[in-house]
């Protein structure tokens, strides 16, 4: 009789223990399920809002031949001819590549260029380019501002497999935080295509370009993509 009673007690104890473990398991599952955020909402909350400013052709200000310093970080570029529609092409390409990256909430203000001019005219003392960017960013209520400058945008003279003069492109990009005006990231591209025989280290780039002489737009597009891939998401 004692053995039966002990067996019954052991069975009841084991049953209660199992039920308790199940309650804990489902309780924790419910807690974690409740805390898990929607991936879309979570990713959107973490992404910064970035205002895209139009590219600025600095040769229109300083001339097409000589050295020009970047208004943001002071780096020097050798300037050169810039095609008429280069800024428009770069603006469109930048927006497309950043949209594909999906790292930011993009604000492409079409009137941003006019806003920069208006702000510059409103101040008696000349503002730096950085200060103008920050003011426009604050006016738009964004986290950061991304813009760039073109120093050279010259197309090749010739065809795919033979040129008299190669394409030559130089530009930079800068991501400025609106809260304190600091540079979060900067990148530059500066290239005049060279024949493979003059620099064997360009072999990989030569192959990626199909072994041909590229146009200025092809060169700029490839350089822009490489820079954008380097921009930190946060």
CB 107 within 8 A of CB 94: no
Q: Report pLDDT for 45.
A: 52
**Strand residue runs (E) in 61-182:** 67-69, 76-78, 104-107, 144-154, 157-159, 162-165, 168-177
CB 167 within 8 A of CB 156: yes
3-state secondary structure of 152: strand
CB 216 within 8 A of CB 168: yes
**pLDDT-derived band at 18, boundaries 50, 70, 90:** very low
Q: Report pLDDT for 120.
A: 65
Q: pLDDT tens-digit profile of 71-126?
A: 999 999 999 999 999 999 999 999 999 999 888 899 886 777 777 777 766 765 66
Query: Which is it for strands 168-177 and 183-192: parallel, antiparallel or unpaired?
Result: antiparallel
Q: Burial of 173 by CB count in 10 Å (0-12 exposed, 13-18 middle, 19+ buried)?
A: buried
Average pLDDT of the chain to the nearest whole number = 81
């Amino acid at each position: 009789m004692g053995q039966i009673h002990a067996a019954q007690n052991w069975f009841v104890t084991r049953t209660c223990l199992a039920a308790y473990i199940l309650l804990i398991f489902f309780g924790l599952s419910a807690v974690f399920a409740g805390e898990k955020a929607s991936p879309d909402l979570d990713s959107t909350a973490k992404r910064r809002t970035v205002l895209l400013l139009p590219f600025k052709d600095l040769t229109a200000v300083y001339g097409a031949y000589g050295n020009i310093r970047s208004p943001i970080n002071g780096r020097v570029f050798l300037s050169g001819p810039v095609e008429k529609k280069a800024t428009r092409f770069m603006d469109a390409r930048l927006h497309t590549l950043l949209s594909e990256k999906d790292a930011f909430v993009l604000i492409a203000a079409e009137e941003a260029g006019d806003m920069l001019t208006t702000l510059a005219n409103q101040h008696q003392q000349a503002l730096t380019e950085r200060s103008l960017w920050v003011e426009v960013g604050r006016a738009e209520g964004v986290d950061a501002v991304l813009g760039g400058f073109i120093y050279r945008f010259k197309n090749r003279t010739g065809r795919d497999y033979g040129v008299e003069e190669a394409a030559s492109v130089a530009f930079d990009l800068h991501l400025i935080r609106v809260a304190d005006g600091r540079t979060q990231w900067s990148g530059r591209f500066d290239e005049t295509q060279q024949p493979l025989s003059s620099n064997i280290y360009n072999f990989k780039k030569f192959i990626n370009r199909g072994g041909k002489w590229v146009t200025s737009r092809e060169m700029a597009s490839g350089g822009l993509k490489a820079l954008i891939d380097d921009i930190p998401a946060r």
